[in-house]
């Protein structure tokens, strides 16, 4: 009986869905859609992907899915090679920065013709065309704090330093974050009014006062004020925060769930404090997960894929995603939903995201990361001055971009 | 120069042990003083500690609840030790499945590779034919190809042959890559077996193939074991080729791919990762330890006859 | 979570794979038999039949990719010329030697670093392996136990070992720095500074490589007849003299190939330099990791194919010279 009821509900849903959906017809042939995703199991995201595809297959039994999971870098490499061999999958569910290499190689197609992009958060636009449909947005850094150690998050960097100094003693630290990765430098760079690219979005602007100030600030936190331990990478920062040895932590939205579980009521989320000297909020990079369409996708498969993407990003499923994965939606309508406003953690995350800037997805970005990383580490090891580092970053980035051909 | 090769004697150590008393004065322990012996034991114990220490650390992390890779605590068994991570990887993650898959692929690979290599090596050892030395040198050069060089074309090849997501592609790839090195080990070993043994058999009416199966193969047990072990451990730990050929369907992954799933870009399930690492290391260690007595001077690349 | 269906499925797939392999071999052998024995009446037909499965497999899996790479190395294929690449002759090979191969480092400094890495590692593998083998090559208590423990790094999967060591090099929590602090020395930035990071790579790889040499050398030592030492003892030779005059020359046939292979493996070692270099310091890259990054992180397909060929040729030349001077390949010519 129960089974029958479920089938009934689903068929009603399907009917309602079919009635109000516009555009492409759902094909009636037997189709198998190969979907590649980089979502992993560890945060239940892969399970979420398959729950969507299964629900879709229940509505349209002639359309089945083969969900292939690959980790982020592998997905990029394999999709490139598979496209080269003419055996690309039918749909990608992947991170926004893949749009850069994929458009450069010409192996995905623009999606403007199939969707009304105005209903989504800003997507990847290059050469005047949109290259992906947002599934979720975020992936941004924010400030986490342990209420047992610090009652209120600091509002600006002066306050941050003052509070952190109070909290630092022995093996207790005021603030920790992964100092080795440029992804954690980017927010500060924005806060000091800098950007890695000039207006055109491809010319590196790393040798700037903003970069020097950023490096100096990071250096000062460690050496001048001594509020950050000698050498912190991701795992160290994570461990210190989890062990209650650090009052504040800068980390990404992917780790929200774990901390919330561990710290419970003591866990707080806030935007990274404003930079006092510029009056600007640090701007973490935001990105998200996107559907991308392989170049050769067409015909009945294309129709089916369009239908599926509409289904996966409809309001109901976007809300569902918010609740199960704690990820901010790709659909604008859901971003204003009270489910976000009423949850302090999600609200804090959403507020921080509003200060963020989209992470550039051009291929040149790889050179920027690779140029910043070693110099940043040299400065933070006390082996190079910020001025020299900024100059070295710029020349490394330029040399690298030149080689991309 | 001659070398008293262990050759066709699979129990090298035993005769030495029985003789040891008699010639130990000159050879094995050369009348070491107690002092010297103590020093030797201390050095060896010290080195053993260095050897196992990282393994103990892996074990230690695997016992920690939550997800703490680092800790200010240096003790091996943490105060809040638990086997929770083992339970999770074995019964909630697919580790048992992945290990089974690895065993299936690895054992098949090692056996196929060994059969192909054993017969080819016989030809290289016993016959002089056109192209023999070229082929032998070519086999050695294949060891010099960096794996990264083969990845893109192998992936394209696997797509064209419709072998993506199958064990078939993986087993064939592993077997073939193991062949050159195996041929060299086996050929080196066959070379040390006196040809007179076969000649005698052939005079008695055996065919060359019969001579090979009845005489050479049984005498080569140590070298075959060594080769098997090499092939096994290569395939067991292989990651790059498995990644491109198997893809990611959970039920067919080998353990290196499965373990890789526990690592996100920044977020790594360290406790589970290390618990799984301990579990997958056990079969290989048992195999290595049980077969280490066979690992004799099999690796001589056929140059012994100097 | 053990899926019984998947278990059956994998069994049947293994079975069918074996069947396919057997089928291919049988067809191949039958063909060869017909052609060589019945038709051409070649005298040594058995030989060709014996080696043909190996050769066929290698042709497919190694020659084809090599040819493909050879072709690509003469094109300007990259992300921006993904389908529409064109033939540019040997220009990529020139660029390997004239332009930065990764970010800023050029080929030659990278080659020297790789050679340094190889020399340091092989030196310690061989001396460490020899010392341990000599220590173990005697009648003693606990011999089996020692041997068991010494083998562990070899049996441990490389990536797992690399990850475990990476934790030990952590500035704050790593065992090494904790020890340094306890004896009053300044802790070292193992992960972020160039020289310590290179040293860390070497330490891990030395630790990994010693067991292989120990086992191989121990096998060799056991095969040296005691009579040689007896004779030397009669002549009043010291232990040191015995080692240089008897042990080492006797071990040469075993050491030479082990050193060639050890060198090639170390030169081409990917896991350790890649995983210990957590922060992608360019100063810790060796040739193969640079190749991997050029090919897969920067997608410079044409360039990296040429780069791969250069690495391949360097190893080829090294082995040829080494083999010639030491006579390791004498057996081949017999």
Look at A19 and A41; give whichever has higher pLDDT: A41
The answer, yes or no, to whether residue B78 has pLDDT greater than 60, is yes
Q: Which chain B residue has its CA at the smallest distance from A256's CA?
A: B267
Instruction: Give yes or no: residues C55 and C153 share one domain.
Output: no
Whether B155 and A85 lie within 8 Å, measured CB to CB: yes
Which pLDDT tens digit goes with each residue over A229-284?
A: 877 888 888 888 988 889 999 998 888 877 888 888 899 999 999 999 999 999 99
Weakest-pLDDT range from A146-150, A212-216, C34-38: C34-38
> Interface partners of C (3+ CB pairs, < 8 Å)?
A, B
Pair A313, A279 in one domain: no
Rounded CA-CA distance B277/B55 in Å is 9
In this predicted structure, what is the pLDDT of residue A7? 52
Q: For A141, what's the count of Cα atoms within 13 Å in the CB-facing half-sphere?
A: 27
A207 and A330, same domain (yes or no): no
* CA separation for the pair C273, C287 (Å, rounded): 10
Residues of chain C neighbouring B166 (CB-CB closer than 8 A): 13
Asked if residue A353 belongs to a domain, the reply is no
Is residue C158 located within the same domain as residue C247?
yes
Predicted local confidence at residue A22, as pLDDT: 45
Residue A268 and residue A379 in one domain: yes
- What share of chain C has pLDDT > 90, as a percent? 19
Provide the residue ranges of all domains of chain B, joining segments of one domain with +: 32-82, 94-294
Verify that C47 and C103 share a domain, yes or no.
no
Q: Is 0.90 surpassed by the pTM of this model?
A: no
3-state secondary structure string across A97-124: HHHHHHHHHCCEECCCCCCCHHHECCCC
Q: Which two tokens stand for residue C236?
A: 């009043």
Kindly state whether C149 is in contact with chain B, defined as any CB-CB distance less than 8 angstroms. yes
- Structure tokens, B179: 């062949």
A374 in a structural domain: yes
CATH code of residue A235: 3.40.190.10
- Cβ-based neighbours of B93, under 8 Å, separated by 6 or more: A41, B258, B261, B262, B272, B276, C1
**Closest to A377 (Cβ–Cβ): which among C79, C173, C192?**
C192
Taking the alpha carbons at both ends of chain A, their separation in whole angstroms is: 63
Eight-state DSSP code of residue B172:
H
> pLDDT value at position C2?
60
Q: Same structural domain for residues A279 and A293?
A: no
Q: Tell me if C58 sits within 8 A of B179, measured CB to CB.
A: yes
Contact C291/B146, CB-based, under 8 Å?
A: yes
Q: What is the CATH number of the domain that holds C133?
A: 1.10.3720.10
Question: Do residues A198 and A182 share a domain?
Answer: yes
pLDDT digits (tens, 9 = 90+) for C223-261: 777 788 888 888 888 888 888 888 888 888 778 878 888
pLDDT at B7: 38
Structural domain harbouring C149: 95-333
Quick one: which H or E segment has residue C287? helix C287-292
Q: What is the tally of structural domains in chain C? A: 2
Interior CA angle at A320 toward A130 and A55, to 5°?
A: 85
Q: Does A351 reside within a domain?
A: no
C-alpha distance from B239 to closest chain A C-alpha (Å) = 12
Instruction: Give the domain B94-294 fold.
Output: MetI-like fold (1.10.3720)
Q: In Å, how far from its chain's centre is CA C104?
A: 27
Find the mean pLDDT for residues A70-99.
Answer: 88
Q: Are residues C50 and C178 in the same domain?
A: no
- Looking at the complex, report in whole angstroms how far the Cα of residue C20 sits from the nearest Cα belonging to chain A: 24
Residue C327: pLDDT band by 50, 70, 90 thresholds? Answer: low
- For residue C308, count CB atoms less than 10 angstroms from its CB and return exposed for 0-12, middle for 13-18, buried for 19 or more: buried
In terms of domains, do A13 and A30 share one?
A: yes
Q: CA torsion B163→B164→B168→B173, rounded to 10°?
A: 90
Given a contact cutoff of 8 angstroms between Cβ atoms, the answer to whether A367 and A400 are in contact is yes
d(CA B249, CA A70): 9
pLDDT of residue B299: 52
Q: Which residue of A has its CA nearest to B269?
A: A42
Nearest to B266 among A171, A239, A252 (CB): A252
Which of the four pLDDT bands, split at 50, 70 and 90, describes residue B108?
A: very high
Domain boundaries, position A152: 141-283+363-403
- Asked whether residue C109 falls in the same domain as residue C21, the answer is no
Average model confidence (pLDDT) for chain B?
A: 77
- Note whether C233 contacts B: Cβ–Cβ < 8 A: yes
ipTM value, please give it.
0.79
* Mean per-residue pLDDT over chain C, rounded: 85
Task: Check CB contact under 8 Å for C151 and B288.
Answer: yes
Chain B partners within 8 Å of C254 (Cβ): 297, 299-300
Where is pLDDT greater, at B121 or A338? Answer: B121
Give a yes or no: residue A244 inside a domain.
yes
- C80 within a domain of the structure (yes/no): no
Residue A169 lies in a domain: yes
> Can you tell me the distance from the alpha carbon of A158 to that of C71, in angstroms, rounded to the nearest whole number?
60
Give the 3-state secondary structure of residue B28.
Answer: coil
Decide: helix, strand or coil at residue B153. helix
Q: Using the beta-carbon criterion (under 8 Å), do B285 and C155 form an inter-chain contact?
A: yes
Can you give the pLDDT at residue B264?
60
Per the domain annotation, does A279 fall within a domain?
Answer: yes
Please report residues of C whose CB lies closer than 8 A to that of B120. 50-51, 53-55
Both A110 and A208 in one domain: the answer is: no
Q: What is the mean pLDDT of residues B280-303?
A: 67
Domain shared by C64 and C138, yes or no: no
Q: What is the pLDDT, as a whole number, of residue B22?
A: 38
pLDDT at A271: 93
Same domain, residue pair C147 and C190: yes
Q: Is the dihedral of CA B196, B202, B208, B209 positive or negative?
A: negative
Left, alpha or beta for A202 (phi > 0: left; psi -120 to 50: alpha)?
Answer: alpha
B260, A71: Cβ pair inside 8 Å? yes
pLDDT at B70: 62
SS3 B161: coil
Q: Whole-angstrom Cα distance, residue A227 to residue A246? A: 10
Is A233 touching C (CB cutoff 8 A)?
A: yes
Closest Cα to residue C6, out of A25, B99, A41?
B99
Q: What is the largest CA-CA distance in chain C?
A: 81
Is B76 a residue whose pLDDT tops 90? no
- To which residue do tokens 């998050």 refer? A153
Higher pLDDT, B79 or A167: A167
Q: Is the pLDDT of residue C110 over 60?
A: yes
The pLDDT of residue A115: 93
Does C106 lie at the interface with A, CB-CB under 8 angstroms? no
Same domain, A241 and A182: yes
A258 lies in the same domain as A149: yes
Instruction: Judge whether residue A58 has pLDDT over 90.
Output: yes
- A37 and A88 both lie in a single domain: yes
pLDDT of residue B241: 85
Lookup result for tokens 């070295």: A392
- Among C152, C204, C208, C217, smallest CA distance to B48 is for C152
Q: Are residues A278 and A291 in the same domain?
A: no
Whether residue C79 lies within 8 A of chain B, CB to CB, comes out as no
Condensed to tens digits (0 to 9), the pLDDT of residues A325-378 reads 888 899 988 888 888 888 888 888 889 988 998 898 888 898 899 889 888 988
pLDDT computed for residue A293 by the predictor? 96
Is A370 found in the same domain as A235?
yes
* Total of domains in chain A: 2
Domain match, C128 and C243 both: yes
C72, C87, C118 — which closes off a domain? C72
Residues of A in contact with C297 (CB under 8 A): 366
Question: Judged by CB atoms within 8 Å, which residues 156-215 of C form the interface with A?
Answer: 167, 170-173, 187, 189, 191-193
Q: Is C284 within 8 Å of chain A by CB?
A: no
């Amino acid at each position: 009986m129960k089974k029958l009821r479920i089938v009934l509900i689903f068929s009603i849903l399907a009917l309602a869905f079919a009635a109000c959906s516009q555009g492409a017809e759902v094909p009636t042939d037997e189709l198998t859609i190969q979907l590649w995703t980089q979502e992993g199991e560890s945060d239940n995201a892969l399970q979420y992907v398959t729950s969507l595809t299964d629900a879709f297959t229940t509505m349209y039994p002639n359309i089945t899915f083969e969900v292939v999971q690959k980790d982020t870098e592998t997905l990029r490499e394999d999709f490139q090679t598979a496209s080269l061999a003419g055996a690309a999958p039918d749909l990608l569910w992947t991170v926004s920065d893949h749009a850069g290499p994929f458009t450069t190689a010409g192996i995905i197609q623009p999606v403007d013709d199939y969707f009304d992009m105005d209903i989504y958060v800003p997507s990847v636009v290059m050469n005047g065309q949109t290259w992906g449909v947002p599934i979720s947005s975020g992936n941004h850094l924010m400030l986490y704090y342990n209420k047992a150690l610090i009652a209120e998050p600091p509002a600006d960097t002066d306050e941050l330093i003052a509070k952190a100094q109070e909290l630092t003693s022995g093996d207790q630290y005021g603030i920790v974050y992964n100092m080795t990765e440029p992804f954690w430098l980017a927010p500060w760079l924005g806060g000091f009014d800098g950007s890695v690219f000039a207006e055109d979005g491809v010319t590196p602007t790393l040798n700037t006062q903003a970069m020097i100030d950023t490096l100096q600030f990071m250096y000062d936190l460690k050496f001048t004020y001594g509020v950050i331990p000698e050498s912190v990478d991701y795992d160290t920062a994570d461990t210190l925060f989890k062990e209650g040895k650090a009052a504040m932590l800068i980390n990404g939205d992917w780790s929200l769930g774990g901390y919330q579980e561990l710290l419970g009521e003591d866990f707080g989320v806030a935007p990274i404090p404003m930079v006092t000297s510029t009056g600007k909020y640090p701007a973490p990079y935001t990105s998200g997960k996107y559907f991308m369409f392989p170049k050769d996708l067409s015909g009945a498969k294309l129709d089916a894929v369009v239908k599926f993407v509409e289904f996966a990003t409809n309001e109901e499923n976007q809300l569902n995603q918010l609740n199960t994965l704690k990820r901010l939606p790709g659909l604008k309508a859901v971003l204003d939903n009270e489910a976000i406003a009423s949850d302090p953690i999600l609200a804090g995350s959403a507020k921080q995201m509003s200060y963020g800037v989209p992470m550039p997805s051009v291929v040149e970005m790889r050179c920027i990361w690779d140029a910043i990383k070693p110099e940043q580490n040299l400065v933070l090891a006390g082996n190079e001055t910020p001025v020299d580092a900024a100059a070295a970053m710029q020349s490394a980035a330029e040399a690298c971009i030149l080689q991309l051909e | 120069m001659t070398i008293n090769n262990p050759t066709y004697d699979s129990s090298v150590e035993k005769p030495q042990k029985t003789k040891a008393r008699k010639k130990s004065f000159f050879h094995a322990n050369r009348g070491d003083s107690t002092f010297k012996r103590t020093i030797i034991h201390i050095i060896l114990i010290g080195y053993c500690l260095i050897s196992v220490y990282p393994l103990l650390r892996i074990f230690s992390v695997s016992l920690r609840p939550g997800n703490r890779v680092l800790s200010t605590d240096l003790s091996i068994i943490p105060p809040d030790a638990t086997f929770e991570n083992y339970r999770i990887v074995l019964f909630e993650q697919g580790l048992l499945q992945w290990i089974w898959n690895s065993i299936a692929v690895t054992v098949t690979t090692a056996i196929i590779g060994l059969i192909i290599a054993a017969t080819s090596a016989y030809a290289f050892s016993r016959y002089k034919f056109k192209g023999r030395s070229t082929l032998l040198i070519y086999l050695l050069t294949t060891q010099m190809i960096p794996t990264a060089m083969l990845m893109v074309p192998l992936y394209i090849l696997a797509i064209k042959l419709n072998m993506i997501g199958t064990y078939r592609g993986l087993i064939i790839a592993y077997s073939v890559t193991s062949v050159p090195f195996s041929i060299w080990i086996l050929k080196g070993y066959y070379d040390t077996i006196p040809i007179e043994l076969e000649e005698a058999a052939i005079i008695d009416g055996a065919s060359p193939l019969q001579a090979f199966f009845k005489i050479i193969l049984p005498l080569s047990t140590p070298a075959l074991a060594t080769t098997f072990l090499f092939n096994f451990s290569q395939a067991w730990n292989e990651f790059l080729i498995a990644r491109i050929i198997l893809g990611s369907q959970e039920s067919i992954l080998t353990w290196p791919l499965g373990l890789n799933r526990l690592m996100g870009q920044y977020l790594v399930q360290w406790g589970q990762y290390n618990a799984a690492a301990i579990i997958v290391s056990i079969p290989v260690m048992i195999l290595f330890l049980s077969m280490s007595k066979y690992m004799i001077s099999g690796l001589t690349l056929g140059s012994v006859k100097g | 979570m053990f899926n019984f269906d998947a278990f059956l499925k994998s069994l049947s797939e293994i079975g069918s794979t074996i069947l396919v392999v057997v089928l291919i071999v049988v067809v191949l052998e039958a063909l060869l038999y017909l052609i060589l024995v019945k038709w051409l009446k070649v005298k040594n037909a058995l030989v060709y039949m014996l080696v043909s499965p190996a050769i066929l497999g290698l042709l497919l899996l190694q020659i084809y990719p090599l040819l493909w790479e050879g072709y690509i190395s003469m094109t300007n294929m990259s992300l921006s010329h993904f389908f529409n690449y064109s033939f540019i002759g040997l220009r990529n090979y020139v660029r390997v030697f004239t332009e930065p191969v990764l970010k800023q480092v050029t080929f030659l400094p990278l080659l020297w670093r790789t050679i340094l890495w190889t020399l340091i590692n092989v030196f310690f593998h061989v001396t460490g392996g020899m010392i341990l083998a000599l220590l173990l090559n005697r009648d003693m208590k606990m011999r089996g136990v020692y041997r068991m423990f010494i083998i562990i790094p070899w049996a441990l999967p490389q990536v797992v070992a690399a990850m475990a060591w990476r934790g030990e090099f952590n500035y704050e929590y790593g065992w090494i720095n904790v020890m340094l602090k306890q004896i009053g020395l300044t802790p070292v930035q193992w992960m972020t500074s160039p020289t310590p990071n290179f040293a860390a790579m070497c330490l891990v790889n030395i630790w990994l490589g010693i067991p292989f040499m120990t086992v191989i050398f121990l096998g060799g030592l056991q095969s040296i007849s005691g009579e040689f030492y007896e004779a030397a003892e009669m002549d009043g030779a010291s232990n040191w003299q015995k080692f240089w005059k008897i042990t080492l020359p006797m071990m040469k046939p075993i050491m030479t190939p082990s050193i060639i292979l050890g060198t090639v493996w170390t030169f081409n070692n990917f896991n350790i330099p890649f995983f210990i270099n957590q922060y992608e310091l360019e100063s810790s890259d060796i040739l193969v990791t640079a190749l991997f990054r050029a090919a897969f992180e920067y997608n410079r397909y044409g360039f990296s194919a040429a780069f791969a060929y250069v690495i391949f040729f360097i190893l080829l030349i090294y082995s040829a010279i080494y083999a010639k001077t030491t006579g390791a390949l004498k057996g081949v010519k017999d």
